[in-house]
Amino acid sequence: MTGLIWKDFMVSKRTVKAYLGIMIFYAALTVMGMFSVTFVTAFVSVMLIMLPISAFAYDEQAKWDRYAMSLPMGRSRVVGARYLFTLLIVLGSLAFALLAGATVAVTGKGDLMEVLVSALTTLAAGLLIADVLLPLCYKVGPERARPYLYALVFIPALGLFLAYRMGIHIDTSWLDRLARSSPAAVLGLFSLPLLAALALTFVSYLISCRVAAGKEY
């Protein structure tokens, strides 16, 4: 299984290099004051969580899935390796958020709590998207699953925009009360969506295993 996870990192090497270039570019703009560090942290978190989806496209091009699913380790472990790769990406994104938060705290150019809250929220959203898309990638393939990605991203955004245009405003006064709470309470509350997404990851894994077990490669 370790070899399968390493394979995912290797096939994503070019994409990771491109993402690193984008990260350095936005980090430079952040230092210049053109972007907030919370935006960059959120952008990077969502960008990194898309790596497992990209790995499916590479596998399909190389016909890897037909070979991998015939390995003696069993299909469930092949699927598990992809999910462990996803969780490692989540850990990497959290590490980046902690590093960014520590940097802004030391330099005084931002608020550590704001960075961490932004990272937890966007990681939860990104992982939830992955939880939905990974079984779809096993079921219909990465290309046919791509429209679902757009739907998951743009439909909520469109709904919020339409609600705003219709004069429907969400009560955000609780955020002001939350800001007066202790840092531990704030982090605990905003960790709940990520914990829920992690729980759904296990459900998503079981669904993917069932799909992979019944699919002809």
For 99-150, write each residue's pLDDT tens digit: 777 777 777 666 777 777 877 888 888 888 889 989 998 888 888 888 887 7
Q: How many domains does the chain have?
A: 1
Name, in order, each residue with C-beta under 8 angstroms of 108's C-beta and a sequence gap of 6 or more. none
Angle, nearest 10°, between helix axes 183-214 and 75-107? 160
* Three-state SS annotation for 1-33: CHHHHHHHHHHCHHHHHHHHHHHHHHHHHHHCC
Contact 53, 149 (CB under 8 A): yes
In this prediction, residue 175 carries a pLDDT of: 60
155 or 168: which carries more pLDDT confidence?
Answer: 155
For 85-95, write each residue's pLDDT tens digit: 988 888 887 78
In the structure, what pLDDT confidence band is assigned to residue 13 with cuts at 50, 70 and 90?
A: confident
Q: What is the mean pLDDT of residues 188-213?
A: 91
Domain range holding 17? 2-214
* Structure tokens belonging to residue 167: 């004069």
Query: What are the DSSP calls for 42-93, one per residue?
Result: HHHHHHHHTHHHHHHHHHHHTTHHHHHTTSTT-HHHHHHHHHHHHHHHHHHH
Q: Which phi and psi (to 5°) does residue 63 adopt?
A: 55, 30
Percent of the chain surpassing pLDDT 70: 88
Q: How far apart are the C-alpha atoms of 50 and 57, rounded to whole Å?
A: 11
